[in-house]
Structure 1
């Protein structure tokens, strides 16, 4: 089954349903709670899809996904916030892996917020690297974002998932792996926007610049909740790790996350650094 057909089936399956488990929290954001995707058995499947659905009457205000069981050979090709669910897709990269791996999705859900809307912007289908920005309506601010690498078949890495410092927009950059990709692919960027919330802000933390794998932990202030996470992978000097370094977001908590950035199987000889990005809100 194609990724498009698989995604369509999943959207129908999760619409209007709650995840297998959710954790309520008293919040300035009304009715804030966390929904997880149903547990999945690790396997060496080439592609995976998972979703977390909000309880009836609640809407998505945050989205997060991570893989486990393999660090270099799996790409999260989609993190798609809808009105009441978050859907994620992941594929093995061009080299593939025999390792077992799994995909986990989190959705932050809340009662509908003033001005809440989802902005979606897509590129054309081409075989070139591309950046796509989704801009929030005037007077609103971004809560969370997402992307979809349609047709990339695990051969496009996300070099940047970057909310603007003022939370007015979300920019995502997709870079083909080092031997390129002959087929065309499309990048779609999503931004969930609403009227400004108390304590809503973005924060960054940056690693050292060298030729080794990186780990960056970034934390919200006490009494705050992570709504979204992102990153930038940047080469030092004239070099660029584009298409040769993959981001691996991971977290066991909801007020922080760890960005693991790893070189692919072929490695990258130049120096590069990783910047982790987080959107937090007061709860």
Structure 2
């Protein structure tokens, strides 16, 4: 089902998105060589709970953590744990916040220490493809206008878009309709209307688009074991320009 949100509901999601964006900033301030991914998860959970909210992912379909932390060739849904971050890693942090009956969702891939030029370009292109796609998230356009734009931005740079994993509507449920693929055809799909809240999230691989699921039943990795990047915003479709509810500003203050 596709649920259009009232302005009151959007206000709640906007408030949650601010908590979430600040939680991302907290995690960003800790990411460095020598820290474990579990330490990042612990801090995110504390921060979200201190703001009277609940980490959306914790307990979702049995997921045991507050963050999905996916390092290097892990695309999404990685488990925090004993892994010690090192120079050259890229670390995707995906997080959600639930409060007052609504969810928000946001992801960012961090580079740690010295990265190869290819990997730096992967991060730049994936993030840029998100914002290019959001330019099409306006009332009257089709979902395929956004999806095809993301795909074109990625593929013209020689990278590949994951097919099996998609963005989604978001609200009272973490995952609502419609699905938001990162590939598609212009002019096709759902007609976008004001008040549609979406989590848009390009997942882009340095090598082939093919993925595999690990034995933990959650972690998705690239089949060729090459790096993958992931950036995500929660947004509202509006008449003239998408309203982006989450922000990377708290992350990027830390990275300056």
Q: TM-score, normalised by structure 2?
A: 0.37
Higher relative contact order (CA 8 A, sep 6+): 2
Q: Which protein has the bigger strand share? A: 1
Structure with the larger helix share: 2
